[in-house]
Amino acid sequence: MAAHRYWGLLFTPRAGSGNGISLAEVEMRASTGGADLCTGGTAGGLSTGGQVPANAFDDNNATLWYYGAASPNVRLTYDFGTPVNVVEVFVRNAAISGSGSGFPGTTYGPAGCWVQWSDDGTAWSYGPPATDLSGLGNDGTATITGVSDAVPPARLDGGESHILTSWPPTGLVYRGMGTVARLDAVDGGAYRVAGTVAIDGTPAVPVRRRVRLLHERTGRLVREVWSNEDGTFEFANLALAEYIVLTDDHTRLYNAVVADKVLAVV
């Protein structure tokens, strides 16, 4: 995996928490069970009542980070100043629930989180699945292992198939490496749909996101890919038809973007 300057956790609140989120401690490690890397850098994120993000990285369980309006989610970040590798993240919940010096405690512990990273502090990405923290009690701890910056591969629901652009040499259908390869006799052709995924702004910021191609008339899923690092994507060898292009944001910071009546071109 590549090293990144900015690392963070994107949290979702617990049901009935009033959408507040808190933690006592966060550690980020370069190896399993290794030393905490979060020293000498800069914590970032939103906070309430003076319970600032730096409190989550000070190795002091008596101090808390807290944000009281975390609907639907909130990010806690750490700027290391230079790129580092993170393979494990440790979190500790507050020791006491309710008001007082231990506020907020379990009541405001996060329901779940995603490990994220960024190279510029603006565009954030993540790879591992969400981690469930809803069972974390007072002073409870959790260790998130196997942190990786690998983007999840695209998949086709209903089974794994290799879509070919020409007839296989051994017949119409053949099996290779344990999976079925077949010619796309329904949606295959000499046409293409291509574009770029970007976050609106001045300038726009190209991003790597999942892109789905749907058949306009039936709404059927035709293909699915991840855009490249520069935001570009292409669906090649398509039948001449109108399609819907749907891009969703796995970071949950932006709504999905849809373009309909997209005509495939040569």
What pTM does this model have?
A: 0.60
Strands (E), 99-140: 112-118, 131-132
CATH numeric code, 161-263 = 2.60.40
Q: What is the pLDDT of residues 10-31, one digit of tens each?
A: 887 877 656 688 899 999 999 9
What's the CA gap between 74 and 45, in Å, rounded?
Answer: 8
> Are the C-beta atoms of 235 and 156 separated by less than 8 Å?
no
> Are the C-beta atoms of 125 and 116 separated by less than 8 Å?
yes
What lies within 8 Å, CB to CB, of 203 at 6+ separation is none
Q: What is the pLDDT of residues 165-208, one digit of tens each?
A: 444 444 444 344 444 555 566 788 878 899 888 887 777 788 88
In which residue ranges of the chain is pLDDT below 70? 1, 16-19, 70-72, 96-106, 127-129, 151-185, 266
Q: Where in the chain is the domain with CATH 2.60.40?
A: 161-263
